[in-house]
């Protein structure tokens, strides 16, 4: 039997802020940034050090089986690879990706309304 550590306490601390940012996101970029910020903050809390993520290290992808894709900045990093294998980090990322994927799908279906919020014009109905 392997020894796994639970990071659910950290997830619960950050969950509300992520949900609020994702629900108020007005573009796909806002959703991506909110999810990347969640992962950065989660890894910072776990490691106790400041974490810097490069663009492409984490991406919400509705077509991916888990709803997200991790880049080489995380998967190839020895410090984070241990958490990917020996904890429930991947499960946490899957759970949190559900809301982000739903928001991306919603924004994809309602692009006109989202653009109207971002770029208001007096002649628009929204």
Name which of 66, 63, 2, 58 is nearest 31 in CA terms: 58
Q: What percent of the chain has pLDDT over 90?
A: 43
Name which of 117, 113, 119, 87 is nearest 10 in CA terms: 87
pLDDT tens readout for residues 21-34 = 999 998 899 999 99
Task: List b or e across 16-49, with b for residues whose CB sees 16 or more CB atoms inside 10 angstroms.
Answer: eebbebbeebeebebbbebbbbbbbbbbeebeee
Overall pTM > 0.95: no
Q: Where are the domains of the chain?
A: 9-118
Beta bridge partners of 94: none
Give the H or E element holding residue 105: helix 89-109
The sign of the CA dihedral 69, 74, 80, 85 is positive
Residue 1 confidence (pLDDT) = 35
Residue 14 class from Cβ within 10 Å (0-12 exposed, 13-18 middle, 19+ buried)? middle
Name which of 11, 19, 31 is nearest 114 in CA terms: 31
pLDDT tens readout for residues 6-60 = 788 888 899 999 999 999 998 899 999 999 999 999 989 988 888 888 888 899 9
């Amino acid at each position: 039997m392997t020894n796994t550590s639970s990071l659910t306490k950290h997830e619960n601390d950050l969950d509300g802020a992520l949900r609020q940012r994702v629900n108020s996101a007005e573009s796909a970029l806002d959703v991506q940034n909110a999810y990347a910020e969640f992962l950065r903050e989660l890894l910072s809390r776990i490691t106790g050090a400041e974490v810097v993520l490069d663009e492409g290290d984490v991406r919400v992808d509705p077509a991916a089986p888990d709803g997200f894709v991790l880049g080489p900045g995380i998967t190839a990093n020895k410090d984070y690879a241990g958490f990917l294998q020996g904890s429930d980090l991947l499960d946490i990322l899957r759970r949190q990706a559900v809301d982000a994927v739903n928001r991306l799908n919603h924004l994809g279906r309602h692009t006109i309304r989202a653009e109207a919020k971002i770029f208001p014009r007096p002649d628009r109905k929204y």
